[in-house]
Structures are given as C-alpha cells and as structure tokens.
Structure 1
Amino acid sequence: MAKLPQQTSIFSIMTQMANQYNAINLAQGFPNFPVDTVLKNIASKWIHEEIHQYLPMSGYPPLLEKISQLTFESYTRKVNPATQILITAGATQGIFTAIQALVYQGEEVIILDPSYDCYETPILLRYAKPIRIPMKDDFMPNWVAISESMNAKTRMIIINNPHNPSGRIWTEFDYIQLENLLELYPNVLVLADEVYESITFENPHISVHHRPKLCDKSISVSSFGKSFHITGWKIGYLIASESLMDEIKKVHQYLVFSVNSVAQYAICEYLDHVKMKELSHFYQQKRDLFRQLLQPSRFELLPCDGSYFQTVSYAAISKESDLDFTKRLVKDFGVAAIPLSPFYGDSKDSKCIRFCFAKDEATLVEATKRISGL
C-alpha cells in the first residue's frame, strides 16, 4: 500500500484553533467579504430554472466557449472548447485527476517546496515517487537543484505560479530554464497550478499559455473559486492538449462525472459582467493596506508579487518554531496564521509564516493592531 501522510492538515488545525480561541482567521485562504451581488442574483435566478440534471462530462458547452475566449483574451492562446477544457470540482480535484491519469507506477514527480499539501498524496496513490526540491531562500526556483534531480524516471514537474504560500511569481528567466530542461527530457509533463493567475501586482502574470514550447506539454489548473471569491462553490477547470485531456477525462468520468450544474450556468453568465483584469487592483489595495499596517512591527515583510498571501519572517521576534509561534499568536494575540514548515517535505523551519489578506478592511486593521506590538 502507498504510505500516505498521517497528520491532519495544518489548515484544519489552525482554523480549529482560531474557532476555539475566537481569533481572527488570517490562516486559511478564503475571503470574508461578500460575494458580488451580481453573481448572487444570477445564481438565484438559475436555481429556479430546470437545469438541475447532469451536464456533459466536460462541462456546460457555453461555459467552455467562454473559457476558450477568456484564455485567448488573457494569453492569446487558442484552445478548442470541446477537446481541451475540462470543468472540475475545484482545482484540487483537477490536480488529483491529472496526476492519476498521467503518472504511472515507479515514475517520479518533482514538487517545488514550499508546496501546497494536495500535490503529494495523488502521486503516492499512483505508486510513484514525489521528489521534493526546496526553492531558494527568496522562494524562487532553484534550477541547479531541479536539473540535478531530473532523470529518465521523471514524468512530471508541478509548478505553482503565483506561488502559495510565498506570493512570488515566475519570471521570463524561469520559464526559459524550464523549457531548456524539457528539451533534454521531452517526456516530462508540466502540471501548472495557476489558481491565483488573476491576482498579480506590479509585474504581470506569465502563464504556461504564453509559452508555445510548453502548451502541448502542460496541464494548467485554474479556479473560479479563487478568482471570484467563491471558494465554497468548488469549481475550476483544466486546459491541456487533446491527447492529454483524453487521458484525464478517463479518470474524471469515474471520479465526479460532471460538476454542479447551477454553478456552471451562473458562472457562464457572470463572465459577461466581470472584468478579470480589475481583480488584481482589488487585491493590491488589500495587500498594500496590510503591508502598511504591519510595516512598523518587527515582522519582516517578504516580497508579495501575487496571490492573496503575505509571507513574513518573525526571526527578529522569536526563536520559537514556526508551529509554536503560530499557536502562540492564536492563544495570546487572537490572530491565526499558517506556519511554512508543513509546506516542506523535510519540515524546514525558516521562521516564516503566512497571512491571508483576502479580508475586509476592518479585519485587517484589527488583526495587525493585535500583533504589531510583538
């Protein structure tokens, strides 16, 4: 049997503690402000229509068309809505399905640490081997280490851009390095977790969709839940070449078959009302406010290029482990954050923690007030 992780997710642990101590939850990555009224009204309308039965396995065809159009507008990449797009029950299901479909026993999958906790388990379930490669101290890819880890057994590399937990984004240099490696190892696939693609700040997001050399080798993962602040809807999508998507659909049809019909109809209509490019400005205001409020403290604010996470170092405040420090933040100061050590295969403790700033202004003001005196 594959040996799966035994521990409870750090996200569950910190949220449970936040609830227990009535703390402000800046740990788990979900917004606390209202969903767009336009979207709620659209969803309310569709709930009364007779659209509650199974949709086609790949997704609601008009929504697939909208995603194809959005992909072209955002990245100038043309994708066939009928053969290259799959609606999934959230990004996590998309990642799980892609790995189950495309990775085989004995193969290796490179994960860049710190990494989100949903990557490793589906690899182990395929009796494949996760290869955890630490990023550099600035949370950018270590291409020397990645290159040294690739071999004939390497089947896939998982990239996360914008990155959770650090909030860093890849540069042109990083994609060139990846492309050079894939020329040496042409059978390697790229699973590109781009769920925060609509949330970048000073520098624009570079996607695998921008890279012609990567398009046929990549499976991109997107999330309406992250983009539209509806994480509880659990709806996202994959884009891949037809040959890769055919294999992914073989797993998807037996895993969920088709995704929530009301959500698909509602999002399809909502895409006519929302301007995706405005999302970055919305979150940049929150990032800037949070950084401004925390600036006078002894926390060291690390770069945040995208996502809705701010990573900080507390090395000037305490020598405690990151897990102990975050637990003390909850108990003594009433603010929940996420330690970074659980994002590493070797539990590396860099004295860094992650805050989620996808909260209303009052919450950010009160949270920073509580911890600024540390």
Structure 2
Amino acid sequence: MHRTYRMGRPGYHDWMHPPRDLSMPSVPAPWQRTASGANLLGPAGQLGVTIFEEMTTLAAQTGAINLGQGFPDEDGPREIKAAAMAAIEAGANQYAPGKGILELREAVAAHQERFYGLAPDPHTEVIITTGATEGIAATLLAFVGPGDEVLTFEPFYDSYGAVIGLSGATHVTAPLLAPDFYPDMTAMEAAFTDRTRVVLLNNPHNPTGAVFPRHVLQRVVELAAKHDCLIITDEVYEHLTFGARHIPVATLPGAAERTITISSAGKTFSFTGWKIGWLTGPDHLVAAVRTVKQFLTYSSGTPFQAAIATGLALPDEFYQGVAATLQKKRDILSEGLRAAGFDVYTPQGTYFVNVDTAPLGIGDSVDLARRLPGLVGVAAIPVPVFCHPEGAERTRSLLRFAFCKKVDLLEEAAARLATLSGKL
C-alpha cells in the first residue's frame, strides 16, 4: 500500500525520454498533478513522455516488432464496418445526444442482460462515452476530490493515476502478487479507510492478465459497503478471457447500488480508434457522471455508435471466436518467451502476457526494455511504469508483451525472442 502521493517521486524520471525543465510552483497546477499521477514528472518537475511513446519510437528506429502498445493490427468484423459506412451515408454525422444514441444505449442494456442478467434502463442508467477512458475520467471527477482516497490495485493502468492526480484525491494502492496476480488480501483490507471514496477495479486486469475470482470480488464489495464507498469497475476486456469466467462486479450481492460498470467496443471488436465506450449503473450515479461528461466531449462518434449497436448484437459464436483466436496468439508468443529464458505468467484474460526477466540474470526490466529492440528486434513495456515506487521495486524484473497482433507477426517475434539468451 502506498498512501503518500507526492510530486517528483525519486526514480520515476529514470525512464523518461528527454525531459523538459519546467518550474514547479509550491502548489502544483492541475496539469502537474495529472502528469505526476501518470509517472511523467521527475523530482525537479521535468516533464517526460510516456513509456509507450518511448518504446514506439525505439521500435520505429530499430525496425523492431512493437509488442508494447496494446492495439490490434487487424480490423474487426466487416458487418460493423459496413454499418458505420451505412450510418455515414444515411446522414448520422452530427452531434449525438449527450448520453448517446438510443439505439446503442438499448444495445448496451440488451448486452448486459444477455450475458450477465443485468437490466439497466437505457433511458436513465446507460451513458455512451468517448471510450472507456472518458467514462473513467468523468466518473472519478464526478465523485472524488481533495481529502478523498481512491483505491486501485497495483500495477494500475496509467490513466487511473493521471485522473486521480487531476482530481486532487489521494491514490492508494494494494498489490497484485505473482504468479496469479490476485490481490494481497491483507494489504487490500488495510488499504480501505473511512476516507476511501472510490475503489477502482480493472477486471480482467491490464497489465497482468489476471481474471479475479468470485471470492476476491465479493470481498471488495463487502469492504466497499463497510466503508460506504463507490465501486468503479473497468471491464473493457470482459470478452477476452481464456478458461476463466468473467464475473461483473454489479452481479454480486450488495454491489449493484454502489457500482458504475464501464466497458468499450475497442478491445472486443478491434476498433480502438473509434473510441466508443459506455457505462451503466444506478440512475442517480449515472446522472452525476453525465453532469461531468457533458462538459468533456459532450458526444462523439455518431455513426460509430450506430455501428457498435450492430456489433453488440452479434451471435455468441463471434464472442467465443474472439477469445479462442486470442488464446492461440497468446500461446504462440508465450512459446517464444519461454525459449528466450523468461519465466512466463500465463494470463487468464486481456491480450497481454507478463514475464520475469530474473532467470536471465536481469533484474531491471526498464533497462532491458530499452535494449530489447536493438538486441532482438522486439519492443515491450516494463511493468514498473504502472506502479508507485514501492510497487515499482516489487515488479522491477517484469515485462509486458501484447499479443493482439497478426499470427505471422507473432511467430516472427517468437523466433526473434528465442535468440535472446545468446545475445545478452
């Protein structure tokens, strides 16, 4: 658990690509709190770029296969693309309603009932957002501020820290522990306090690939009820699981009345650039979020919203096929990573696989991430960048690879990685 969250944490500038020297006022400005929350400020206020930008630049310079950023290199179903083009031709090119077009809100509600037995009212309990990222930001900004605490698991997706920093709230973490990356239950229970306003839960979990079991989720709900806090649950990888069943938090006893559930089309349908997300929850909580959301983007992606309504109605075979295809890709890349000499933590969900570099005698994954494109022509992301200092030390030998790429590219990456031990 890490309770103090100050600007300029020592060590974080170490992986920044060349910093800019910016003056630091005695009271940090909102942008500085945002940058600090995303691990982008050095101890003297230097502003760096994200690790994703650094690794992407290295991949481009060296011709490496970029398995760092988690976006697919193949488009999603043709019928969804056709629906978007048809919507454009039909004139769906102006502002959508602030809460999203009714067709998609109804499709989201039908999806929740079809897969999970939930029945949100599409008129009052569903909002369409500019990706899940906006949904998370609008929800946090609606409910937390200075004096509040927001609890996340660690490692955590970097936008969580950024928005928590922007809000002025304190970011508290509880560790996820290898090999299964389930929470340290004792630390999780200790992390809740009477100042905990929100617990922000990502399940299936990026970057670890964990899919949390029912007993873990139920304990989160019990602790949230005990401390009277809200649950924000980011479930964008809900359909990308491998043998493990995704359990939405809102389906658990005592959860629905305090839970905002967030998801998106990008991961399931491989249209990340469309930025179509949604959130569901009790009407009074959704109304509060909508109050903030309408002054962020107001609305976006009108023809894409109509197309994603088509996607959500695709048959079960589509959803099963997406997961089965990704599982095969996971296994192809994992084989190459094992051949390289890494310890591989097989993910139960998402499209990321984590490895431990320690068996190769390497304890610093940040350093290896910078060397890897030049050594074998593959780029990855070091897991410590998703952590506060204590967590960064705990995960300092872990690397994350994305396997949401074409099979031939993954096979080439696996072959390159298999040569690593001979090049160190």
TM-score range, shorter chain: over 0.9
Letter paired with 2:62: Y
Partners of 2:225 and 2:158 in 1: CA distance: 29
Alpha carbons 2:222, 2:254 under 8 Å: kept: no
Match of 1:323 in 2: 366
Matches within 5 A, 1:176-187: 176-185=218-227, 187=228
Match of 1:240 in 2: 281
Structure 1 position 41, deviation (Å): 2.1
Partners of 2:118 and 2:259 in 1: CA distance: 13
Per-residue deviation, residues 281-306 of structure 1 (Å, max 9, x unmatched): 22112112222343333111113100
Alpha carbons 2:128, 2:276 under 8 Å: kept: yes
Query: Per the alignment, in what secondary structure is the counterpart of residue 173 of structure 2?
Result: strand
Structure 1 position 56, deviation (Å): 1.1
In the alignment, structure 1 residue 251 sits paired with structure 2 residue 297: no
In the alignment, structure 1 residue 159 sits paired with structure 2 residue 205: no
Structure 1 position 125, deviation (Å): 1.8
Alpha carbons 1:134, 1:344 under 8 Å: kept: no
User: Alignment partner for residue 213 of structure 2, among 171, 179, 184?
Assistant: 171
Letter paired with 2:348: D
TM-score by length of structure 2 reads: 0.85
TM-score by length of structure 1 reads: 0.96
Partners of 1:125 and 1:213 in 2: CA distance: 30
Match of 1:145 in 2: 187
Query: Per the alignment, in what secondary structure is the counterpart of residue 219 of structure 1?
Result: strand
Query: Per the alignment, in what secondary structure is the counterpart of residue 294 of structure 2?
Result: helix
Query: Per the alignment, in what secondary structure is the counterpart of residue 109 of structure 1?
Result: strand
Partners of 2:74 and 2:404 in 1: CA distance: 8
| Identity score, percent | 33
Match of 2:380 in 1: 337
Partners of 1:17 and 1:149 in 2: CA distance: 38
Structure 1 position 277, deviation (Å): 3.5
Q: Which moved more, 1:67-76 or 1:140-149?
A: 140-149
Matches within 5 A, 1:1-374: 1-2=29-30, 3-4=33-34, 5=36, 6=41, 7-138=48-179, 139-185=181-227, 187-274=228-315, 275-346=318-389, 347-348=392-393, 349-373=395-419, 374=421
Partners of 2:328 and 2:204 in 1: CA distance: 17
Partners of 2:415 and 2:328 in 1: CA distance: 18
Distance 1:350 1:254, change over 3 A: same
Alpha carbons 2:364, 2:397 under 8 Å: kept: yes
Q: Which moved more, 1:344-353 or 1:242-251?
A: 344-353
Structure 1 position 223, deviation (Å): 1.3
Partners of 1:8 and 1:101 in 2: CA distance: 27
Letter paired with 1:294: L
Alpha carbons 1:123, 1:130 under 8 Å: kept: yes
Structure 1 position 111, deviation (Å): 1.6
Alpha carbons 2:99, 2:128 under 8 Å: kept: yes
Letter paired with 2:201: I
Q: Which has the higher contact order (CA 8 A, sep 6+)?
A: 1
Structure 1 position 273, deviation (Å): 3.6
Structure 1 position 133, deviation (Å): 2.3
Partners of 2:279 and 2:127 in 1: CA distance: 5
Structure 1 position 141, deviation (Å): 1.0
Partners of 2:261 and 2:399 in 1: CA distance: 27
Letter paired with 2:418: S
Structure 1 position 320, deviation (Å): 4.6
Alpha carbons 1:335, 1:367 under 8 Å: kept: yes
Partners of 2:361 and 2:207 in 1: CA distance: 21
Structure 1 position 127, deviation (Å): 1.6
Letter paired with 2:397: K
Partners of 1:51 and 1:344 in 2: CA distance: 42
Query: Per the alignment, in what secondary structure is the counterpart of residue 231 of structure 2?
Result: strand
Per-residue deviation, residues 142-170 of structure 1 (Å, max 9, x unmatched): 22112112211110111111111110110
Alpha carbons 1:167, 1:305 under 8 Å: kept: yes
Partners of 2:156 and 2:244 in 1: CA distance: 22
Q: Which moved more, 1:107-116 or 1:32-41?
A: 32-41
Per-residue deviation, residues 11-43 of structure 1 (Å, max 9, x unmatched): 111112111211101000001123322222222
Partners of 1:99 and 1:27 in 2: CA distance: 27
Match of 2:4 in 1: none
Partners of 1:88 and 1:176 in 2: CA distance: 27
Query: Per the alignment, in what secondary structure is the counterpart of residue 309 of structure 2?
Result: helix
Query: Per the alignment, in what secondary structure is the counterpart of residue 355 of structure 1?
Result: strand
Which stretches in structure 2 are left out of the alignment for 5+ residues? 1-28, 42-47
Per-residue deviation, residues 111-158 of structure 1 (Å, max 9, x unmatched): 211010000122222221111222223321122112112211110111
Alpha carbons 1:75, 1:209 under 8 Å: kept: no
